Amino acid sequence: MQYRTLGRTGVQVSTLALGAMNFGRIGSTTQGEATAIVDAALDAGINLIDTADMYSDGESEEMVGRAIAGRRDDIVLATKAGMPMSEERNHRGSSRRWLVTALDASLRRLGVDHVDLYQIHRWDPRTSDEETLSALTDLQRAGKIRHFGSSTFPAHRIVQAQWAAREHRLSRYVTEQPGYSILQRGIEAHVLPVTEEYGLGVLAWSPLASGWLSGAIREGRAITTNRSTFMPQRFDPALPSNRARLDAVEQLAKVADDAGLTMIQLALAFVTAHPAVTSALIGPRTPEHLHAQLAAADVVLPADVLDAIDAIVAPGVDLAPDEKHDTPPALLDRSLRRR
C-alpha cells in the first residue's frame, strides 16, 4: 500500500480508501460482511474509511461504527452531510442549524466523539459560504471534527469557498471528493487544476464507474451488476452514452490484457496516477470484491499505458455527461437562466 499526504493537513492516508456506501441496504451488505471488509482493508494497509449520513439512512455509519470499535485511533474516519435525511425541508443542506444536528447524529451512529474529516456532500445554493464555513469552524474548534471538506463541488464553488474562508477569517475546506474514472474525466479540465492550486486533498469516488470498469461488463454479456438493478437507464446499451462506454470498455480491456493487468487494476491505477489525486475510494459489497480491488494497491501504470488510455478517452472528456453531479444549477433549471 502507498501513502500520500491529505492536502496540507499533514495526515497520511492510503492511496486506496474504503468507501462504505454499500454497507447496509444500498449494497445488501450485512454487518458480518462489512466487518470482514473493514478487517481485511485495515490488514492490507488502508487507513481511511469514508461514509455518509444518507447511506442507507444512517445504517452505513452504524455498521462502520461497529466494525471499527476498539481501533478508532488507527483510522482516518470521514463522513458527510447535506443530502436529504427525511421529508422535513430543514433536514438537509449546509445551514448551521442542520450541520450541528446532523454531526451529532453521525457521531452517535458511529459511536465516536469526533470525525477526522467532515464533508459537505453537495454544494447547497440556498446557504451562503460564510454560514457553512462558520458552522464548520465552530464544530472544529469544539473538537467534534478535525478537518472539513467538500464533495462534488463545481470548480467555481471550490474557489468561492476558499475566498470566503479568507475574507471572513474562517477555517477552509482542505479536501474535495469528486467523481473520477477513465470514463468520466471531466474534472481534469476544471476541478483538479483548482484543487492543485489551493492544495486540497482529493478523494476520488466511483473510480470503477459504477461497475463499468469492473470487468463484469463486456460486449455480448447481459449486464447484471448491483447498480444496474436500480439504475437500469445508466446501463441500457441502446443509449448513446452507454454505447460509447461499452465501446471504450472493449478497447480498455485490450490495453489491460496487453499490460498483464485486470480491468480493476487498470482503472484504479489510472485514478491514483493523477498528481492531484490523493486516494481512490473503493466501495466493495463483499470481501471478494475488496480483494480484487486491493490487487491494484501497488500498481503503477507506465507512460505507454496511460497514453493508450488517453487515445481511447481523451483527457477532460466525460463519456456520460448527463451523469455529472457538479453541473451548475442554471444548466439544469431553465428558470435560472432566463429573465
List, in sequence order, the alpha helices (H) in the chain: 31-43, 59-68, 96-110, 129-141, 155-168, 191-198, 226-230, 240-259, 263-273, 287-294, 303-312, 329-332
The ranges assigned to domains in the chain are: 3-215+267-302+314-332
Residue 91 amino acid letter? H
What does the pLDDT look like over 256-293, one tens digit per residue? 999 999 999 999 999 999 999 999 999 999 999 999 99
Residue 259 has phi, psi (to 5 degrees) of -90, -5
pLDDT greater than 80 at residue 207? yes
The predicted model gives 195-212 an average pLDDT of 97
CA distance 62 to 69: 11
Q: Give pLDDT, residue 200.
A: 98
Residue of higher predicted confidence among 15 and 220: 15
pLDDT greater than 90 at residue 313? yes
Model pTM score: 0.94
What fold is seen in the domain 3-215+267-302+314-332? TIM Barrel (3.20.20)
Task: Report the SS3 class of residue 239.
Answer: coil
Active-site residue set: 55
Q: Give pLDDT, residue 66.
A: 97
pLDDT, averaged across the chain = 95
Give the pLDDT band of residue 221 (cuts 50, 70, 90).
Answer: confident
For the ranges 98-107, 184-193, 213-222, 259-268, which has the lowest average pLDDT? 213-222
pLDDT greater than 90 at residue 339? no
Q: Give pLDDT, residue 139.
A: 98
